[in-house]
């Protein structure tokens, strides 16, 4: 498999140990829309976000993070994860650090729309539990009426590898795949609670790949607080695993308004969803404060 990725090690510096930011300018966005997956090392800001979110997860899971699944059945794990997500939504400090993390990449100002920070939790063996089918479904975000110009920033709360990271299928970006995205209407979805509603076994439509992907997954290894950028149109999903530790991650989604206006973005080869999820995003025109 040929993975069109840019693997970056230690960042370049501009003087006194200050990392040079990798800006999401037009050339960088075009490369990601064309299939590049950008792997960046942790930054002080991504580490600050991870530290804050780990504290929220620990509070919701009685002090546990990596062993959050211990002593909890699937329903109890979901309830605690829902509490952690609500705490993250309400935490002004986490929101401030998330904005600073995007600003490091040049994602700031009214020319960008951003979604709220999303928390994911993947417990060992969780893929075999009843009611978790939606959480593990391989999908493109475009099947959920996300803009084809959208870029996702994914950050793990601990180190991940090929057995428990995020599964991506860059070879399939331009490959029409069987899916049921015609079931998805964003307006109806929002009325039923929307993403991460906390409703177990929600009646909402969750589009997915139908059948087995015709190419193998690429699962990049990342250290704690590493940063992975990829097009939302990439086929992706959590890697089912039986490792000893729960895997938590956060992701932030953004889109440049100029890309949407000029119809730039990733290939749109198999999406039949209705609506526009970016209507719920906010302009990145906040007054940045120093994170931490």
66-102 pLDDT per residue, tens: 999 998 998 899 999 999 999 999 999 999 999 999 9
Task: Identify the pLDDT of residue 242.
Answer: 86
Average pLDDT over residues 210-225: 97
Q: Say what the pLDDT of residue 287 is.
A: 65
Burial of 191 (0-12, 13-18, 19+ CB in 10 A): exposed
Give residue 292's pLDDT: 39
pLDDT confidence of 203, banded at 50, 70, 90?
Answer: low
Q: How many helices (H) and strands (E) does the chain have?
A: 7, 10
- Phi and psi torsions of 142, nearest 5°: -65, -25
pLDDT, residue 217, reads: 97
Residue with tokens 């996702």: 152
Provide the percentage of residues in the chain whose pLDDT is more than 90.
77
Task: Report CA torsion sign: 214, 125, 232, 102.
Answer: negative
Which helix (H) or strand (E) segment is 31 a member of? helix 26-33
Q: Please, are residues 207 and 184 in contact by the beta-carbon 8 Å criterion?
A: yes
Of 172, 168, 140, 164, residue with least CA distance to 272:
140
Write down the pLDDT at residue 7: 44
Length of the chain (residues): 292
Q: How far apart are the first and last CA of the chain?
A: 41
Give the per-residue pLDDT at 121. Answer: 95
Instruction: Determine the pLDDT at residue 190.
Output: 87
Report pLDDT for 10. Answer: 34
CB atoms within 10 A of CB 70: 13
- pLDDT at position 205 is 85
pLDDT at 236: 98
pLDDT band at 123 (very low <50, low <70, confident <90, very high): very high
What pLDDT is stored for residue 20 in this prediction? 47
Q: pLDDT per residue over 104-113, tens digit each?
A: 999 999 999 9
Surface-to-core class of residue 275, CB atoms within 10 Å of its CB (0-12 exposed, 13-18 middle, 19+ buried): middle
């Amino acid at each position: 498999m040929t993975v069109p990725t840019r693997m970056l090690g230690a960042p370049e510096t501009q003087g006194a140990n200050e990392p040079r930011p990798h800006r999401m300018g037009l050339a960088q966005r075009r490369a990601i829309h064309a299939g590049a997956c950008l792997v960046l090392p942790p930054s002080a800001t991504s580490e600050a976000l991870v530290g804050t979110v780990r504290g929220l997860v620990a509070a919701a899971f009685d002090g546990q993070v990596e062993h959050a699944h211990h002593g909890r059945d699937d329903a109890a794990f979901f309830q605690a994860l829902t509490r952690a997500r609500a705490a993250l939504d309400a935490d002004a400090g986490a929101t401030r650090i998330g904005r600073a993390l995007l600003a490091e990449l040049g994602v700031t100002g009214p020319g960008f729309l951003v979604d709220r920070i999303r928390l994911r939790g993947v417990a060992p063996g969780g893929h075999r539990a009843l009611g978790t089918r939606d959480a593990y479904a391989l999908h493109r975000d475009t099947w959920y009426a996300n803009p084809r110009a959208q870029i996702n920033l994914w950050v793990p709360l601990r180190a991940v590898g090929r057995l428990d990271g995020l599964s991506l299928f860059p070879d399939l970006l331009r490959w029409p795949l069987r899916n049921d995205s015609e079931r998805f209407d964003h307006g109806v979805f929002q009325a039923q609670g929307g993403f991460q509603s906390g409703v177990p076994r929600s009646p909402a439509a969750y589009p997915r790949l139908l059948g087995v992907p015709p190419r193998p997954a690429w699962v990049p290894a990342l250290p704690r607080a590493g940063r992975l950028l990829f097009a939302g149109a990439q086929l992706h999903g959590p890697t089912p695993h039986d490792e000893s530790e729960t895997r938590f991650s956060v992701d932030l989604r953004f889109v440049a308004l100029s890309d949407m206006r000029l119809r730039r973005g990733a290939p749109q080869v198999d999406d039949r969803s209705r609506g526009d999820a970016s209507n719920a995003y906010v302009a990145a025109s906040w007054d940045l404060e120093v994170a931490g």
